[in-house]
Structure 1
Amino acid sequence: MTEHNALRRLIAPGQRAAATGLVLLMAASALTEGLGIMLLVPLLAALQPGATGPVGIWLGRLHVDPGLGETLALFVVLIALRSAINVARGSAALRFELGVVQALRRRAWNALLDADWRTLSAMRRSDSMSLLTTEIDRTGYGINQAIQGLAVAITLAGLGIAGLAVAPLVTLIGGVGGLCVLLAYRRMRRRAAALGERLGEAHAGLQGSLGDSLAAIRTVKSLGGEARAREGAFAGFAALFGARMAYQRDMGLGQAGLQIGGALVLAGLDWIAAARWHLGPAAILPVVALFARSLPLLGALQESWQNLAHARPAMIAVFALIDRAEAAHEPDARDADAPPLARELRLDRVGVQFAGSPVPALTDIDLIVPAGRMIALTGPSGAGKSTLADVFAGLLSPDCGSLTVDGVTIDPALRRAWRRRVAYVHQDAVLAADSLRENLAWGLPVDDLAIEAALRAAAAEFALDLPEGLATRLGDGGRVLSGGERQRLALARALLRDPALLILDEATSALDADSEARIVEAIAGLKGRMTIVVIGHRGALLALADQVVKLDRGAIVAIDRRTETG
């Protein structure tokens, strides 16, 4: 993907009017600057009568003979007008840049949220985080550099037109020289793109290393793994430092070469104009001013182009994420209504095969779960228990076979609607650094009475005695609570959804005996009120199950029916 194609994708249809307005402001700024350069001719003519150039001849043909005062006044007006235009241009450029970045970040986040679970589970969380933050920020910098480069290019074009009016031949020679310089720097721009890829990899690697270490900081401390964590992070710091320094070194060398070459061209053209073509001061001095202004602009154009090339890999990575997530978009189910699970949940010859895995995760699963009953899924690690639970929950579509609820197939169009009837309690309860009320409601329009009822049903009455009640802030990850307390809050949050199907994934495996007993007591009170699927190797929860389904290598190897299923 070229820089041009990347920028075209970045500008949404609704932002094209703002882009057009920004280009018009740039053109107006360039026009005022070019006119300011051209005014130097009549100004010098007023100071040195008879020393005119092509502009003076044109003014004579138009019977315009401005005096010194009028020329100076017009020059001041042009400068004031250009300053006002530049203020408006700067504000419009920033608004446009931030608008594009915000729209891109929203699009990327929406794409991830709307993608199916199979796609999301295959992504590394730190990579997605790096793309949503660092790489989109780098994309924003690329937009900034594109805007700066376009402004400089338009200004150079305006100066070129002014130069053609003052000294056509000198301007043409200088313009050709400038184009040659930009072409000569193509290799450096390609290297900038390669260094941009290296920087993106360094950012992603560092974010992954830090994320993994922070997520496991308790294990790191308890196992004395600080040295290993430090070594991994420091390697990431060094990679990031090296990538940035390599790019800065290239930038410095490029700018130095451009300035030296530009100075040589300017000196040569001035010498030719004075010594060979015998041009007077009224023609030479505006040309000197024009080239003195153009040289740093040419350097700025090359720098912006190089920075844009450096940011291009970030743009490509962001669009790759968006394209991948949008290709896995789940259909909107706001108007769909899933069956209530009044009779049974059925799996018919269900199979799941994950990309890159040589063996299927599930094979020919046939299972019926009567409504209101409780089943337990057991088996060794990797047997397919969690995958099967994901199919039950509507998170994962089977590659073959079907999931039906009360005889209705849960196809992709119904998956989201079905998930609204499901509550899923994972082994690691996820709690945010918000209040207890916000952690339990999780956006649902529920009142405090409903929350208190859910807490009692989940054997989590302790939460009502917290210092600030439902307004108590739980700290990062709910650190003010024990593991058992966090698990009971997760169960209360699930019950607030009034689910038809409750799934408990290893919900008591990491708890002490007392906490496990409280969870088991709460689940026992829910039997018959909803359908329950429990995942676990062992524990008291299995004794409550009406059926125990044993899996191994993705297949059902035994079913123990402990009660009559009807």
Structure 2
Amino acid sequence: MSPDRPRSGIEALAFLTRITGRRKLMAAMGWMILAASTEGIGLFLLIPMTSLVAGADLPGNVPQWLGQFSSLPLVYLLGGFVALVALRAAITYRVRGARAALGLGLSKELRLRVQRAIVQAEWSWLSGQRSADYAALVVGQAERLGHLVDRAIEVLSASITILVLLATAAWLSPGLTALTLVMAALAAGAAAALQGSRRSWGEHFDSAYRRLQGHVSDGFAHLRAARIVGAEDSLNRDFDAVAADLEAAEWNYTRATHRASLGMQVTTAAILAVIVFVGLRVLAVPLVLFVPVLAIFLRIAPLTGNLQDAWRSWQYCLPALETLLGTIDEAKRAAEPEVDDKGPIPFEREIVAAGVNFAYHDRNRPILKNFDLRIPRGAVVAIMGPSGSGKSTLADLLCGLLEAHAGAITVDDIALEGPARVRWRRQVAYVEQTPYLFDGTIADNLAWGTAGKNLDEMKSAIEAASAQFVFDLPLGLDTVVGERGRELSGGERQRLSLARAMLRNPSLVILDEVTSALDPRNETAIADAIAGQRGVRTFVILGHRPALQSLADLHVDLGAQRD
């Protein structure tokens, strides 16, 4: 387990302190102490005001400096009291701003940590993760955890204020304060015994939230297929079940919160009743002191409720923090080597796979075993085979996403291992069956991942990819393609993706079933683009379409090799 991963509430607090900054927390604490002090002073002013209103003399234990206030007109005392309340309100405003900034900063920092760890992880680990779980962590759970530091500060703020008020009450009436503390301790113990496991509520919510996120992501991605086969009712039933589970998790927490609030109100009323009776009838506390003490306890009551709610919320959020940091730990353990600055790997002769073995951890047999292949520079290689034969795995090995478990893949005798594998990847272009396009212009999509390319280079890449349709569009390169390129046809999206690959000026181009869903015209356009680059670039084509198979210098049937 990573030393940065908290295993308890105390460790979680220490972790949050480190990443939010001790100086910021100390500054917030200073403001909270100042706010609590102004509240204590304001309550002290109740003593001379009560003396004036009741027409009673001050008790002997009241300091002389405080007694001097009783000679002032009541309107002056009231004005001073209002001024103190206004000052405390201004300080509280500052504290709340600091709390919000710390919470938002925490959410951003956690999101950045997840993002960096995920982006730097090995593809062999990433390919086994669910994108919906990642989305739930970055979007939902990180925001939820932003409230964690706010809850911690709220606990601290309420605790400081309560301590200041208790010290004030103890100075005015030690006996009454001691009685109140004993009764409050008994009530707190009873409340804790009646509460369920707050962590279990948080774990239930964490699990239900991730399932809902996954269902939404998967369901939306497959909505078209569901409509075609008439499976909308099945999607709705599954969604209802997941939503109901999340509702149950939230309701358990809400019900417990309301139950605690109810108990708190009844307990507070009972304690105040005892305080009034004992203070006036048993201890005979003078009215001049009793009114301020009672005001203090009336102020402490809601603060205690806030403290209880904040502590419950803290416990409720801890499982989400453990889940998020656990994911970061796993991703860091699976991090790929850092790229060095040795420059591009020379590719003048050939790529060689010699005795390559590769197996996924959840498979009983290796996907590739003692595999050999030689790809001359400038060749066009067609990789065939049924689903599960290892076509995509071989492509990932050749482009440097994966590293062979045994044997070696070399480029001009340089093994694709460690940093060299990461460097080689910068020289490879991978065109997927479903190309990634975002809601931006064609120029933006072409330049994605390839900085510093000018307009002439983009036009050359478009021509090399047989994507001249771009020049016929009214806005040309400034045409907005829409989300996932929905404003373009399937063939246009694929040719645009190939143009982006050409813009990288790659040594190796891998085409993964790029024409499997295209009409003959677009398939021919892509075949023409490959033919035009023959001998200039090295192509590895995954798939069985005749138009591309006919271009190959070498055919590799992985299905036959496995048999």
**TM-score class, shorter:** over 0.9
Counterparts of 1:453 and 1:347, CA distance in 2: 33
Report the AA paired with residue 282 of structure 2.
Answer: R
Does 2:61 match 1:57? yes
Report matched runs for 1:69-148 at 5 Å.
Answer: 69=73, 71-148=77-154
Q: Does structure 2 retain, via aligned residues, the 8 Å contact 1:380–1:537? A: no
Does 2:377 match 1:371? yes
Q: Does structure 2 retain, via aligned residues, the 8 Å contact 1:189–1:309? A: no
- Which stretch shows the higher mean deviation, 203-212 or 397-406? 397-406
Distance 1:334 1:188, change over 3 A: farther
Counterparts of 1:51 and 1:255, CA distance in 2: 40
Report the AA paired with residue 220 of structure 2.
Answer: L
The alpha carbon displacement at 1:325 in A equals 1.5
Counterparts of 1:521 and 1:274, CA distance in 2: 99
Distance 1:459 1:188, change over 3 A: farther
Residue of structure 2 equivalent to 1:537: 544
- Point out where structure 1 has 5 or more consecutive residues left out of the alignment: 559-566
Residue of structure 2 equivalent to 1:564: none
Does 2:46 match 1:43? no
- Which stretch shows the higher mean deviation, 183-192 or 92-101? 183-192
RMSD (CA atoms): 2.1
SS of the residue corresponding to residue 201 of structure 1 reads: helix
Map Cα deviations across residues 68-114 of structure 1 (whole Å, 9 max, x no partner). 34654543442232122112111111111111111111111111111
Q: Does structure 1 retain, via aligned residues, the 8 Å contact 2:352–2:411? A: yes
Residue of structure 1 equivalent to 2:464: 457
Aligned partner (choices 394, 418, 429) of residue 423 of structure 1: 429
SS of the residue corresponding to residue 467 of structure 1 reads: coil
Residue of structure 2 equivalent to 1:523: 530
Counterparts of 2:196 and 2:127, CA distance in 1: 34
Q: Does structure 1 retain, via aligned residues, the 8 Å contact 2:42–2:81? A: yes
Aligned partner (choices 425, 439, 442) of residue 433 of structure 1: 439
The alpha carbon displacement at 1:281 in A equals 0.5
Q: TM-score, normalised by structure 1?
A: 0.93
Counterparts of 2:224 and 2:216, CA distance in 1: 14
Counterparts of 1:337 and 1:266, CA distance in 2: 76
Counterparts of 2:309 and 2:80, CA distance in 1: 33
Counterparts of 1:189 and 1:368, CA distance in 2: 67
SS of the residue corresponding to residue 321 of structure 2 reads: helix
The alpha carbon displacement at 1:508 in A equals 1.4
Report the AA paired with residue 292 of structure 1.
Answer: L
Report the identity percentage.
Answer: 35
- Point out where structure 2 has 5 or more consecutive residues left out of the alignment: 1-6
- Which stretch shows the higher mean deviation, 197-206 or 470-479? 197-206
The alpha carbon displacement at 1:129 in A equals 0.4
Residue of structure 1 equivalent to 2:16: 10
Q: Does structure 2 retain, via aligned residues, the 8 Å contact 1:41–1:283? A: yes
- Which stretch shows the higher mean deviation, 225-234 or 182-191? 182-191
Aligned partner (choices 442, 445, 454) of residue 447 of structure 1: 454
Residue of structure 2 equivalent to 1:340: 346
Counterparts of 2:318 and 2:302, CA distance in 1: 24
The alpha carbon displacement at 1:370 in A equals 1.7
Counterparts of 1:59 and 1:284, CA distance in 2: 16
Residue of structure 2 equivalent to 1:165: 171
Counterparts of 1:102 and 1:557, CA distance in 2: 48
The alpha carbon displacement at 1:14 in A equals 6.2
Counterparts of 2:472 and 2:453, CA distance in 1: 20
Q: Does structure 2 retain, via aligned residues, the 8 Å contact 1:11–1:100? A: no
Does 2:209 match 1:203? yes
The alpha carbon displacement at 1:401 in A equals 2.5
Report matched runs for 1:313-328 at 5 Å.
Answer: 313-328=319-334
Report the AA paired with residue 65 of structure 1.
Answer: Q
Aligned partner (choices 474, 478, 490) of residue 483 of structure 1: 490
Counterparts of 2:531 and 2:310, CA distance in 1: 66
Residue of structure 1 equivalent to 2:37: 31
Q: Does structure 1 retain, via aligned residues, the 8 Å contact 2:58–2:67? A: no
Counterparts of 2:186 and 2:553, CA distance in 1: 81
Q: Does structure 1 retain, via aligned residues, the 8 Å contact 2:408–2:416? A: yes
Residue of structure 1 equivalent to 2:3: none
Map Cα deviations across residues 151-187 of structure 1 (whole Å, 9 max, x no partner). 1111111111111111112212323433444444445
Residue of structure 2 equivalent to 1:474: 481
Residue of structure 1 equivalent to 2:282: 276
The alpha carbon displacement at 1:236 in A equals 2.4
Distance 1:108 1:280, change over 3 A: same
Q: Does structure 1 retain, via aligned residues, the 8 Å contact 2:132–2:210? A: yes
Counterparts of 1:458 and 1:330, CA distance in 2: 32
Q: Does structure 2 retain, via aligned residues, the 8 Å contact 1:346–1:367? A: yes
Map Cα deviations across residues 191-218 of structure 1 (whole Å, 9 max, x no partner). 3321222222222112211211211222
The alpha carbon displacement at 1:278 in A equals 1.2
Counterparts of 1:192 and 1:14, CA distance in 2: 25
SS of the residue corresponding to residue 558 of structure 2 reads: strand
Counterparts of 2:98 and 2:526, CA distance in 1: 58
Q: Does structure 2 retain, via aligned residues, the 8 Å contact 1:182–1:302? A: no
Aligned partner (choices 251, 260, 267) of residue 261 of structure 1: 267
Report the AA paired with residue 68 of structure 2.
Answer: D
Counterparts of 2:249 and 2:27, CA distance in 1: 36
Q: TM-score, normalised by structure 2?
A: 0.93
Report the AA paired with residue 118 of structure 2.
Answer: L
Aligned partner (choices 384, 392, 407) of residue 390 of structure 2: 384
Residue of structure 1 equivalent to 2:155: 149
In the alignment of these two chains, the number of paired residues is 553
Distance 1:13 1:204, change over 3 A: closer
Counterparts of 2:66 and 2:268, CA distance in 1: 38
Map Cα deviations across residues 242-261 of structure 1 (whole Å, 9 max, x no partner). 22222211111111001101
- Which stretch shows the higher mean deviation, 420-429 or 542-551? 542-551
Q: Does structure 1 retain, via aligned residues, the 8 Å contact 2:206–2:319? A: yes
